Amino acid sequence: MSIFDKLFEEAKAARETAYAPYSNFKVGSAILTESGEVVRGCNVENAAFPEGVCAEAGAISAMHLAGQTRIKEVVVVADAALCTPCGGCRQKLSEFAGNDVKVHVADLNGLRKTFTVGELLPAGFQLHDDK
């Protein structure tokens, strides 16, 4: 089984656990860390829009909780033609991934398109020490 296939199955399973009673739009994400660990996340909606949590943000939180700090690869799964990470999640991904890290976007049948973090967020905010 390829890395993509493993991440796809993990993201698809995470999607099934999403809490989306308002939009009924479930999203799952799986992150491969640089150490080889796979962490998952799902979207969790809230009646006080926009206080929900995206699948990518949930996976990043799980990654950090597990003591991991760097992303090697990402898969996002939704029942949509092309569900790319939102702007906030693009910035969150860039905090923990290099510009060349692959972000695979899939529907329930498989891969739709692959982007790099740099393609998704070409001018991301970076905190630099100019001293």
Q: Report long-range pairs for 122-129 (Cβ below 8 Å, ≥24 apart).
A: 124/90, 124/91, 124/94, 125/91, 126/94
Name the region of 24 (left: φ>0; alpha: ψ -120 to 50; beta: rest): left
From the list 9, 10, 37, 56, the catalytic residue is 56
What gap in Å lies between CA 79 and CA 74, rounded to an integer? 17
Decide the pairing of beta strands 27-33 and 71-78: antiparallel
Active site residue 45: no
Residues serving a catalytic function are 56
